[in-house]
Amino acid sequence: MSLAKVLRRPIVTEKSTLLGAQGRYVFEVDSDASKHDIAKAVEWAFDVKVVKVNTLTVPGKVKRYGRRPSKQPDWKKAIVSLQAGDTIQLFEGA
């Protein structure tokens, strides 16, 4: 899998900000990406050392557009733990 396609966007929420303080960063990633792909992609993109990747598939919500309910696509969330001391500036603010 091409590294450039793995990471979709960072997740910036209250919860992810708290995790950020522990050196763990949260991304939305391609649903087909493996933990290895994610680790490589993060190391390549941010020049840091990844020690652990946790992933989960977030089920899409059921929404109603007009008459029939439809399901939004599922997506994959990855929580990436970095080596102690490494940070990702994207989350830390410009």
Partner 1 sequence: MKFTRDEGEDRQAILHIEVEEDRVEKHLQRAHQKVAARINIPGFRKGKAPRNIVEQFVGRDYLLEEAMETLVPEAVGVAVEESDIPSTHTPPRVEVTERDPIVKIDATVALPPVATLGDYKKLKFDDELEVVTDEQIEEQIAQIQESQATWDPVKRAAKLGDLLVITSKGLVEGKEFANVEGGEFLAEAGSMNPVPGFAEQLKGMKEGGSKEFDIEIPADYPNEEFAGKTANFNVEVAEVKKKELPKLTDALAASLGEDFKTVAELRTRISDNLEAQAKDGLRRSLEEKIVDALVEGAEFEVSPMMIEHEAEHVLEDQQRQLAQYNIDFQQYMQGIGKTTEDIVAEAKDSAELRLKRMLVIDTLAEDTGASVSDEEVAAEIALMQETPQYANENLDTDEARDAVQRILRRRTAIDSVIDVTHKPKAAKAKAKKSTTAKKKPAAKAKAKPAAKKKPASSAKAKSSSKDAKSKK
- Contact positions toward partner 1, by CB under 8 A? 11-14, 16-17, 92-94
57-80 residues labelled b (16+ CB within 10 A) or e (exposed): eeeeeeeeeeeeeeeeeeebbbbb
Minimum distance, C-beta of residue 94 to partner 1, in the bound complex (Å): 7
Task: Name the nearest CA neighbour of 92 among 25, 28, 41.
Answer: 25
Residue 92 CB, nearest distance to partner 1 (Å)?
Answer: 7
Q: How far is the CB of 57 from partner 1 (least distance, A)?
A: 20
State which residue, 2 or 89, has the beta carbon closest to partner 1. 89
Three-state SS for 12? coil
Residue number with CB closer to partner 1 (2 or 13): 13
